[in-house]
Amino acid sequence: MKKFFKNKFFLNLRNLFGIKPSYFNINNLDENKSISDAFFWRVDHNFSTIFRYTDLTKYFLNENSELTLVFFDNKNNFINKVNINNESMISGEFNIDSYLLNNESCYGTFYVFHKINKKIGISIRQSCYTGYSFKKNLNSFVHGNIPVAINNLYKPNAKNTYGLAGYNLFINKTYRVQNYLGDYDNVEIMLMNPCNKKITIETNSSKFNLNIGESKILEMNNLKKSIALKSRCYLLRPIIFAYKNDFLDVFHG
């Protein structure tokens, strides 16, 4: 019965009506799944991005897996896919530049999936670190945001499944950024829609829609030391870009 009530249909039903909702539509009893957080890239306005990854199957189980990085622009259009296979290494670093992104000079999202040639009886969530450099200064690192996409770890499907975040059918939820932001010169937030439906988002000073998988960078003008985000998504977690002179700090809200 436990497995029955944790299947996708009942998870969606609970979330839609707010009955003991789950933040993410993931059956934790499933095995051999590769779950990816939503990661952000940006190469706009003096930014560069790197990704520091770990082969989690190698680290925990001494089994090599191939990593696939899938890139999208801010309108959720597919840009590129990269396969990484470091059999001799547990971790590595990958540079994300405009050449890789077909000369895109903006921002967007990417996802990281593992592929292994045997069943291992567990599922893996990839939530490694993305580093952002502003004006060629030192990178500021932040780990993956929230789990958004899934595929099979063993014999992956042709298509990944996106939009794992839960949402309420009727009621807006408020997400408050738990950081004091009043000492910075400027603050940006990067948001993406992690749900499998279009959502409306309201911030301190604006209201807008994001379609499935779309992302957006907002400059928080007239910031009053804190940020509140309203939407029907249960966990609309932003990435914060906080500036002080040429210093940049990047962190989760």
Q: What's the whole-number mean pLDDT along residues 3-32?
A: 68
pLDDT digits (tens, 9 = 90+) for 96-121: 988 788 776 689 999 999 999 888 88
8 pLDDT exceeds 80?
no
Cα separations in angstroms, 182 against 187, 224, 234, 241, 246: 9, 7, 26, 13, 17
Higher pLDDT residue, 22 or 246?
246
Q: Which residues contact 142 (CB under 8 A, 6 or more apart)?
A: 129, 130, 132, 239, 250, 251, 252
CB 180 within 8 A of CB 226: yes
Please report, for the chain, the start and end positions of each structural domain, with discontinuous segments joined by +: 2-162, 173-252
- What confidence score (pLDDT) does residue 224 get? 58
From the number of C-beta atoms within 10 Å of its C-beta (0-12, 13-18, 19+), residue 12 rates as middle
Q: How far is residue 83's CA from residue 190's CA, in Å, rounded to a whole number? A: 26
Q: What's the whole-number mean pLDDT along residues 154-160?
A: 85
Q: How far is residue 129's CA from residue 41's CA, in Å, rounded to a whole number? A: 11
Mean pLDDT taken over the chain:
86
**Going by CATH, does the domain composed of 173-252 fall within 3.90.550?**
no
Alpha helices in the chain (DSSP H): 2-5, 8-17, 56-61
From the number of C-beta atoms within 10 Å of its C-beta (0-12, 13-18, 19+), residue 63 rates as middle
Q: Give me the phi and psi of 132, to 5 degrees please.
A: -120, 125
- What confidence score (pLDDT) does residue 95 get? 92
What confidence tier does 29 reach under pLDDT thresholds 50, 70, 90? Answer: low
13 pLDDT exceeds 80?
no
pLDDT digits (tens, 9 = 90+) for 51-99: 998 888 888 888 888 899 999 999 999 999 999 887 667 888 999 988 7
Q: What's the whole-number mean pLDDT along residues 133-155?
A: 91
- What confidence score (pLDDT) does residue 249 get? 92
pLDDT digits (tens, 9 = 90+) for 172-220: 989 888 887 878 888 999 999 999 999 999 987 789 999 999 999 998 8
Cα separations in angstroms, 146 against 10, 39, 79, 86, 192: 21, 8, 21, 25, 10
How far is residue 211 CA from its own chain's centroid? 15
